[in-house]
Amino acid sequence: MATSSSSVELTLRGKVVAWLTALAAGAAWLGDDANARLAAAMLAAPLVVDFVAKQRRLHHTEVQVAARRAVAGAPFVDHLTLVHRGRRGARECLLSEPRTMRYEPPLMLGTLRPGAPMRVALRGRSLQRSHVLERVFVLMSVWPLALFRSRAVITVATDFVTEPARVPLSAEVVQALAEQQASPRDHAVAVGLEFHSLREQLPHEDARGVHALRSAALGTLVRRVTRGRLPHTVGLVLDLRRPPGRPLYQGSRRFEWSLGACASLVAWLRQRAAQILVLVLDERSERFLVQGPAQEHELLTLLAEAQPTAHRALPPDVFDQLLRLEHCFWIPAGAYTASPEIAAMPRTVTVVGGDFE
């Protein structure tokens, strides 16, 4: 259940004024001096008025936000609907989400009128791979005199999946992918993908596909578009197990990179309409077939929640279905690269990130 709360605290300017007021009031009391009394009164007046006028019901603001999927480190824009349920309007509020707006300035809202919904676009960037079921927003206001700060923490129950950041795949992996693509026989002149046409380079695409000569001639980045045919089903083993005797929470950098590589690999394969038979080796081996967006989302959610697990031996029947596939990718996310199961795989296995250092 989402709960909200609010608090009022002194700003830096308010602290300075409060100290000066205390000094002046102390001097006025000790010395019975009319001038010191006047100074204390003039300093205390804005403090009193600001404290009395401060908006204390900011937490009565309801934030409505849809479920979101984001990629770690990638910017996104959330469209929020704010409804203030207080009796008076909330003025000059700053809205932020600490989790996703560490490097983004808060959003300055105008006056939130009671009961009137306001739609705002919030720019954010989730830096950490995660799957959370509630989001925390902070609504802050220094209205009217900025001597006190009213701050409300508003929690909203929603689904927020931060997928692993995509990483560029190594040349060996790309080559392995290319070699496994079976082009149509009538057009194939060589093993691998066929050149098809040219189009403009998109920002997220691998720079190795850029056609250098055409790009130089046209003055803009142009990319080779190749077509081919992948095997119908590709195997993917995500091994989250740590090597025997190794601490559980070490090698997190490799772990995160491996999850990113897994997500990139899945995206690459799914763009080419391949089915992926995924086997996740963690505390219990999970196996599922990715053949549509729903399964892809499920896999990415699993990647968002994945944690390294302790080493355990695998039952022999785990790889039954994978053994029938032509090619398989093995991602030792837990750094267990010397797994005997890799060697036991009869067909071609490409270890992704095996040389990661």
Partner 1 sequence: MIALPSPTTAVSRLAALALLTCALLALVNLPLQDFAPGWLLALCGPGLLLGRLPRATAQWRRALLATALQAAALWLALRFAGPMSRPAALAGTILPPLAFVTARQQDTDGALGLFLSFCVLLVGVILDGMHVPLVVGYGVAACVALRATAHLAACRVSRPAPAAMPARPARHLVASALGLALPCLVAAFAVERTIGLVPSPSRTASAPDVGLGDTRRRVGLDDSFELDGGRGALSDLAGEQLVRVRSVDGDAVPADLYLRSGFFAVPGLDRWGIGELSARAASGGSDHVLRRAAPAVPVVWLEIERFAGARNFVFAPPGTVEVQGVDGLAVDGEREWLRQIDGSRPGSYAVGYQDLPPPTDTPVDPRAGRLGLLALPGDLDRVPFSRLLAEWRVDHEPLAAAQAIADGLAQHCRYDRIDPTGPYGHALENFLFATGDRRGYCMHFASAAALLLRLRGIPCRIGTGLYGGGPDPREAGARIYGSQHAHAWVEIPFRGRGFVVFDPTPAAERGQRMPSQLDRGGTLADVAQRERGPAADPWRALVDFVLQPWLLLLALVLALASTLWPTGGSERPTVAPPPVARSARRLLARLLRVLAERGLARGHGQTLEQYAAALRRGDRLAPEFAAAFAAYQEVRFGGCPFDAARERTLQRALEVAAQLPASAVDQAEGAAGQA
Binding site for partner 1 (CB under 8 A): 1-4, 13, 25, 28-32, 34-35, 37-46, 48-49, 51-54, 56-57, 59-62, 67, 85, 92, 94, 104-111, 120-121, 123, 133, 142-146, 156-159, 283-284, 305
Q: How far is the CB of 314 from partner 1 (least distance, A)?
A: 16
329: nearest Cα among 230, 240, 237: 237
Whichever of 140 and 210 has its CB closer to partner 1, that residue is 140
Q: How far is the CB of 24 from partner 1 (least distance, A)?
A: 9
Whichever of 222 and 278 has its CB closer to partner 1, that residue is 278
Beta bridge partners of 114: 84
Beta bridge partners of 357: none
Task: Map tokens 């009319």 to a residue.
Answer: 34
The amino acid present at 192, given as its one-letter code, is G
Structure tokens at 13: 């300017």
Whichever of 63 and 274 has its CB closer to partner 1, that residue is 63
Query: By the 8 A CB rule, do 118 and 72 touch?
Result: no
Q: How far is the CB of 244 from partner 1 (least distance, A)?
A: 18
Q: How far is the CB of 98 from partner 1 (least distance, A)?
A: 14
Whichever of 272 and 311 has its CB closer to partner 1, that residue is 311
Whichever of 33 and 179 has its CB closer to partner 1, that residue is 33
Query: By the 8 A CB rule, do 138 and 153 touch?
Result: yes
Whichever of 268 and 288 has its CB closer to partner 1, that residue is 288
Q: How far is the CB of 200 from partner 1 (least distance, A)?
A: 30
Whichever of 25 and 210 has its CB closer to partner 1, that residue is 25
Q: How far is the CB of 300 from partner 1 (least distance, A)?
A: 14
Task: Classify burial at 314, counting beta carbons within 10 Å of its beta carbon; exposed 0-12, middle 13-18, buried 19 or more.
Answer: middle
Question: Both ends of the chain: CA-CA distance in Å?
Answer: 43
Task: Map tokens 């002149």 to a residue.
Answer: 189
The number of helices, as runs of H, and strands, as runs of E, in the chain is 7, 16
Backbone angles phi, psi at 254, to 5 degrees: -65, -40
Whichever of 73 and 106 has its CB closer to partner 1, that residue is 106
Question: What stretches of 58-166 adopt beta strand conformation (E)?
Answer: 61-64, 68-71, 75-84, 93-96, 107-108, 118-125, 130-141, 148-163
Q: How far is the CB of 52 from partner 1 (least distance, A)?
A: 5
Q: How far is the CB of 23 from partner 1 (least distance, A)?
A: 13
Query: By the 8 A CB rule, do 239 and 258 touch?
Result: no
Whichever of 85 and 187 has its CB closer to partner 1, that residue is 85
Q: How far is the CB of 1 from partner 1 (least distance, A)?
A: 7
148-187 in b/e burial notation, b at 16+ Cβ within 10 A? bbbbbbbbbebebbbbbbbbebbeebeebbeebbbbeeee
From the CB of residue 108, how many other CB atoms can be counted at a distance below 10 Å?
A: 10
